[in-house]
Structure 1
Amino acid sequence: MSNANTIAPDASNEVPHRTVIVVGGGQAGLSISYYLKEAGIDHLVIEKHTVTHTWRSQRWDAFCLVTPNWQCSLPGHPYRGDDPHGFMKKDEIIAYLDGFITMVDAPVLEHTEVRRMKRRADGRYALSTTNGEFTADHVVVASGGYHTPIVPRMAERLPAGIVQLQSSHYRNPQALPDGAVLVVGSGQSGAQIAEDLHLAGRQVFLAVGEAPRCARFYRGRDVVDWLADMRYYDMPVEQHPLREGVRDNTNHYVTGRDGGRDIDLRRFALDGMELYGRLDDLRDGRLQFAPNLIANLDSADDTYNRINASIDAFIDKHGIDAPRGQSYEPVWRPEGERTSLDLAESGITSIIWCIGFTPDFSWIDAPVFNGRGYPAHVRGVTPQAGLYFIGLPWLHTWGSGRFSGVARDAAHVVGTIRSAIETTSASLAA
């Protein structure tokens, strides 16, 4: 249930105008609203569904945070529970967000989709929505970057009797038909969903991708705590070794389930999970996999050990008293690469696609996008005056798309808007 300050569409014949329109009512959009209200700037948040809809509708039942609760620091609404080093479960996350919604009390127009947005000759932005027309001096796009689920065309050739789900529609093992499950992709969602099914006693086939992994705990502390002390989460994108390329990286897989632990696909394999390389095709009733399982597992472990080695170096440099660390050694290795699997003989009755999303900003008519459909920006500020983005991965830092870093991004964007408004006012006064 939403506690937002929901407003009704304007029933007059005049096109409503706002100084700022925020498109998207997730934590990023509401964070923008928080700072706009603080600055006394007139605005409206337009949300396609209901505020924080994604958290309520696109998470499986056993979902929990993979970062500790203390990193939940939405503006004016830090985590205040009694388990800062724990990991909130789905219902706790929703309760946390409900508190934020109530506190912000944003002016929101829900169940409204923005179909088209374009800057007019007079500098104002015109927005066409399912609830009428609007104009604004500034527009903040806060709809995220995960819009269109990626499902390969080969899915069309799978037998009609096989249930296919995208990761955002998976809920629990009991909702799937009896039989084995193929999970495609081993990023955060794929690895955790595979674990969820595995723990429920289901036979799981996992097509392992190139996602890296990291330890949950190392040398007596959560790895996130170490990285925070090392100022990793304060590193701006322009200082990262990969620069903007880091925005394309897949998130490390780890879990906060049951108090937090590593996800070790090799250990799952010891317990009966069937691991394969990247899923490439379906031919003559047989699934075809790339011969890259060994490379993908080794690469994930290399990242795991590299992160731990950076923590070792930090501990040594600062003379910190901490338990001794050690390098991860594989508990299981594939005997070879298996590149084919008979679909009927495998007993697979369900397939869960966990290979990500692509952005869809096709409704925005503005010359700010690169060849891959991502907006060009510096800390959310685009080259086109009055157009901003927030909530995207590595918008500015690692935490930009998370509860931990969106506040400072929102403060920066609103600060830029405020400066623009003051400049315009001073110009008109002169």
Structure 2
Amino acid sequence: MPASTITPSPSSSPPAHRHIPVAVIGGGQAGLSISYYLKQRGIDHLVFEKHTAMHVWETRRWDAFCLVTPNWQCQLPGHPYEGPDPHGFMRKPEILDYLAGFRKAVDAPLLEGVAVTRVSRRDEGGYDVVTSAGTYGADQVVVASGGYHTPIIPRLAERLPETIMQIHSEQYRDPGSLPDGAVLVVGSGQSGAQIAEDLHLAGRKVHLAIGNAPRCARFYRGRDVVTWLADMKYYEMPVERHPLREGVRDNTNHYVTGRDGGRDIDLRKFALEGMQLYGVLEGYDGTALTFRKSLRKSLDEADRVYNGINAAIDKYIADNGIDAPPPSVYAPVWEPEEDPSSLDLAAAGITSIIWCIGFQPDFRWLDAPVFNGAGHPKHHRGVTAIEGIYFLGLPWLHTWGSGRFSGVARDALYLADRIEESLKAGGDRRHELAAAG
């Protein structure tokens, strides 16, 4: 049966061991992207989603959230951005509308509200896919559930006063949802830096513990930095050609924002305006939080990366004789007098803490030897060493854009080709065995 004719209903339990050629786990942009290409090939499949399709964009994003890459980079398969502002940055409602249009265009064979609890190899080949709505058999399994599953909150959080509200970045919505008083934001990656800015612009007293996140300019020499880097083919660089190789997958993303048309996020400027900055959070002594004396080093390193990216753009402009505004180098607008080592929570009036230190992957439901010692999948372009197991939608699966709207289509197309080849080879083998028998 062609995939386009499947109309599963999660409200009715399917018979045990119904067979499908391909099971896709996860109904986000990755899962629907591979569905798009499988449907083109007439490959029967089901997409399992334990919540609703693309739910993380609504449930894990704050109200003022916007893209940090320009809209023209939204290139989901069959559904490129075609709005009026290609060089702008969609805000949350616009993103949800864009994704709703993608879902409608794909019309995937989707089972929502169906959790996959275990995938295991059958002795005779193929896989058992155990779900909350019954068990399926599948020849191929595409894990498209991403890598951001379990919010990271440190154990020291358990010892903090109960009077302090503690939430993870995925739970933050807006400044008014927090109690009156000062706010501590822990982590300065994209979420931490943007949430700290959101609170700061609302007039809240913000304390920010920063880590090793780099930063980049929003605009440089007359264009968005993303546009320059795209012209320089940076986003086409595969992971094996990156100077860090697979180590780039562990990197924290550069902080920048698309808010109000796009601008830099300069933590030094925030400090001038009253935000309190600290180094890496290390502990709690019963009264005060303690910090590593790493603030100055972290700020300097973030600026080094910022200027380094701009210098690479300078070289590209010079090498190609491009007419552009003159170059510049960022000079710090503020320097810490000292690295603060502690923060007395009561004395500072801290009433809420937002943990912005990321997520851990959780693939415990997948019973297959495809993980390294840190629990991360081992693969090449999403293809694992175990026949029939694939990954899609992970950061730097193949290129920088793999976990984003810009690159997931290319990865999904590649995997769809591999799946088609594998299914055909399996069919040919069965035909040969039948003929021999």
Alpha-carbon distance in structure 1 between the residues aligned to 2:371 and 2:236 = 26
- 1:11 Cα deviation from its structure 2 partner: 3.8
Provide the residue aligned with 2:90 in structure 1. Answer: 88
CA contact 1:399–1:406 (8 Å) conserved in 2: yes
Provide the residue aligned with 2:75 in structure 1. Answer: 73
Q: Which runs of 5+ in 1 are unaligned?
A: none
| Distance verdict in 2 for CA 1:317–1:356, change over 3 Å | same
Matched letter for residue 15 of structure 1: H
Alpha-carbon distance in structure 1 between the residues aligned to 2:403 and 2:47 = 18
**Identity fraction in percent:** 66
Q: Which has the higher mean CA deviation after the structures are superposed, 397-406 or 10-19?
A: 10-19
Q: Select 1:342's aligned residue among 341, 344, 351.
A: 344
Aligned counterparts, 1:89-108, within 5 A: 89-108=91-110
Provide the residue aligned with 1:300 in structure 2. Answer: 302
CA deviation string 1:134-179 (max 9, x = no partner): 1100000000000111110000011001000100000000000000
**What is the root-mean-square deviation of aligned Cα atoms in Å?**
1.1
Matched letter for residue 123 of structure 2: A
Alpha-carbon distance in structure 2 between the residues aligned to 1:95 and 1:6 = 24
Alpha-carbon distance in structure 1 between the residues aligned to 2:315 and 2:10 = 57
Provide the residue aligned with 1:411 in structure 2. Answer: 413
- 1:354 Cα deviation from its structure 2 partner: 0.2
| Distance verdict in 2 for CA 1:12–1:165, change over 3 Å | closer
Alpha-carbon distance in structure 2 between the residues aligned to 1:220 and 1:6 = 51
- 1:341 Cα deviation from its structure 2 partner: 1.4
Provide the residue aligned with 2:290 in structure 1. Answer: 288
CA contact 2:147–2:361 (8 Å) conserved in 1: yes
Provide the residue aligned with 1:181 in structure 2. Answer: 183
- Corresponding position: 1:118 with 2:120: yes
**TM value normalised by structure 1:** 0.98
Provide the residue aligned with 1:371 in structure 2. Answer: 373
- Corresponding position: 1:246 with 2:245: no
Provide the residue aligned with 1:311 in structure 2. Answer: 313
State the SS of the aligned residue for 1:275: strand
Q: Select 1:207's aligned residue among 196, 206, 209.
A: 209
CA contact 2:50–2:113 (8 Å) conserved in 1: yes
Alpha-carbon distance in structure 2 between the residues aligned to 1:242 and 1:132 = 43
Provide the residue aligned with 1:190 in structure 2. Answer: 192
Q: Select 2:51's aligned residue among 40, 49, 52.
A: 49
Q: Which has the higher mean CA deviation after the structures are superposed, 253-262 or 10-19?
A: 10-19
Matched letter for residue 270 of structure 1: L
Q: Which runs of 5+ in 2 are unaligned?
A: 1-5, 433-437
Number of aligned residue pairs: 427
CA deviation string 1:298-318 (max 9, x = no partner): 000000000000000000000
Alpha-carbon distance in structure 2 between the residues aligned to 1:254 and 1:57 = 22
Provide the residue aligned with 1:61 in structure 2. Answer: 63
Q: Select 1:359's aligned residue among 358, 361, 364.
A: 361
Alpha-carbon distance in structure 2 between the residues aligned to 1:409 and 1:69 = 20
Provide the residue aligned with 1:324 in structure 2. Answer: 326
- 1:284 Cα deviation from its structure 2 partner: 3.1
Matched letter for residue 93 of structure 1: I
Q: Select 1:170's aligned residue among 164, 169, 172.
A: 172
Alpha-carbon distance in structure 2 between the residues aligned to 1:118 and 1:365 = 5
Matched letter for residue 218 of structure 2: R
Provide the residue aligned with 1:401 in structure 2. Answer: 403
CA deviation string 1:237-269 (max 9, x = no partner): 000000000000000000000000000000000
Aligned counterparts, 1:139-154, within 5 A: 139-154=141-156
- 1:425 Cα deviation from its structure 2 partner: 2.1
- 1:130 Cα deviation from its structure 2 partner: 1.0
CA deviation string 1:56-99 (max 9, x = no partner): 11100000000000000000000000100000000000000000
State the SS of the aligned residue for 2:27: coil
CA contact 1:18–1:136 (8 Å) conserved in 2: yes
| Distance verdict in 2 for CA 1:213–1:193, change over 3 Å | same
Provide the residue aligned with 1:279 in structure 2. Answer: 281
CA deviation string 1:102-146 (max 9, x = no partner): 000001111111111101111110011111111100000000000
- Corresponding position: 1:228 with 2:193: no
CA contact 1:7–1:107 (8 Å) conserved in 2: no
| Distance verdict in 2 for CA 1:329–1:10, change over 3 Å | same
State the SS of the aligned residue for 1:351: strand
State the SS of the aligned residue for 1:263: coil
- Corresponding position: 1:428 with 2:427: no
CA contact 1:29–1:142 (8 Å) conserved in 2: yes
Alpha-carbon distance in structure 2 between the residues aligned to 1:425 and 1:146 = 35
Matched letter for residue 98 of structure 1: A
State the SS of the aligned residue for 2:110: strand
- 1:5 Cα deviation from its structure 2 partner: 6.2
CA contact 1:139–1:386 (8 Å) conserved in 2: yes
Alpha-carbon distance in structure 1 between the residues aligned to 2:427 and 2:173 = 51
State the SS of the aligned residue for 2:23: strand
- 1:429 Cα deviation from its structure 2 partner: 3.1
CA contact 2:279–2:291 (8 Å) conserved in 1: yes
Moved over 6 A (4+): none
CA deviation string 1:397-425 (max 9, x = no partner): 00000000000000001100001111122
Provide the residue aligned with 2:435 in structure 1. Answer: none
CA contact 1:5–1:105 (8 Å) conserved in 2: no
